[in-house]
Amino acid sequence: MSSQDMLSRELALRIGLAARALPDTDAKRLFKVLTACVRLPITEDKIGSINLKTLKTAQGGEFSDIDDVLLKKALHILKTNIETGEIPKPEILGLQEGDMPGSVRIACASNDAINVDGHFGSCSQFMIYQVSADEARLIDIRDTSIPEGLEVDDKNLFRAELIQDCQVIYMASVGGPAAAKIVKLGIHPMKLPGIETIADIIGQLQTVIAGTPPPWLAKAMGIEATDRFRFEREATG
């Protein structure tokens, strides 16, 4: 059976449509780049994990000369179900104690499960990821709606407590009082300048983790103070 035969009909169609969005690209060329991004077989979950940086640098930078807007359009086509027009939610994976050492847990304020596009106080869900330098695992999707019958005096505190096991939260916007409640629980708030995909955010974070993480992130990763000092010396030396 060839690599092409391993594809579902749906994914094969999407690859064909996405290729048309890129200059001088046919399905075969795009398929080759995708296989460089993720290992075969290509699946929904693997396609969902590809971000702009990965697509642009794969296969020796095959697509490095193509405009980011076109690459983002191709990625959107790849991730969107043709029949329903919906982007499938990624699969939630388990996490055992001791898994992914040197990782951090992040929350992403999202309305579509794909982008960090939500305001802290109004997003429909928090996507919870465990992230290390070489792995990212979705471990939970937390609905932010208040359960029926539960009286909540402080909606922002309720939301902050939903993610109190996380070290970082990424969001499109947040008010000052809500940010203070987030910080009080030991969570580092990251307000983005614009909407970004969760995959891109994770890619950026992995680059920082693999390099010289700032002291607050090194602490969240469980790196001892002496090692954090070494990182700082290396960064400035």
Burial (CB < 10 A; 0-12, 13-18, 19+), residue 218, is: buried
> Cα-flanking dihedrals φ and ψ of residue 197, to 5°?
-75, 150
In terms of Cα–Cα distance, which of 132, 130, 89, 134 is closest to 107? 130
Name residue, tokens 């208040």.
146
Mean per-residue pLDDT over the chain, rounded: 84
In terms of Cα–Cα distance, which of 192, 181, 187 is closest to 219? 187
| Residue 109, pLDDT score | 94
Query: Quick check: 231 pLDDT over 60?
Result: no
Amino acid at position 177, single letter: P
Buried (b) or exposed (e) across 102-118, using 16+ Cβ within 10 A? ebbbbbbbbebbbbbbb
| Residue 153, pLDDT score | 86
The beta strands (E) that lie in the chain are given as 104-110, 115-116, 125-131, 136-143, 168-171, 188-191, 196-197
**C-alpha atoms less than 13 angstroms from C-alpha of 45 in its C-beta half-sphere:** 10
Q: Rounded to 10 degrees, what is the CA torsion of 109, 111, 116, 122?
A: -50
d(CA 90, CA 113): 8
* Range with top average pLDDT, 3-12, 68-77, 178-187, 216-225: 178-187
**pLDDT, tens digit (0-9, with 9 covering 90-100), for 130-181:** 999 888 899 999 999 888 888 888 999 999 999 999 999 999 999 899 999 9
Query: Quick check: 182 pLDDT over 90?
Result: yes
What letter would DSSP give residue 112?
A: S
Name residue, tokens 């847990």.
105
The mean per-residue pLDDT over the stretch 194-206 comes to 88
DSSP H or E run through 187:
none
Angle, to 10 degrees, between the axis of helix 27-37 and the axis of helix 9-20?
110
What's the whole-model pTM score? 0.64
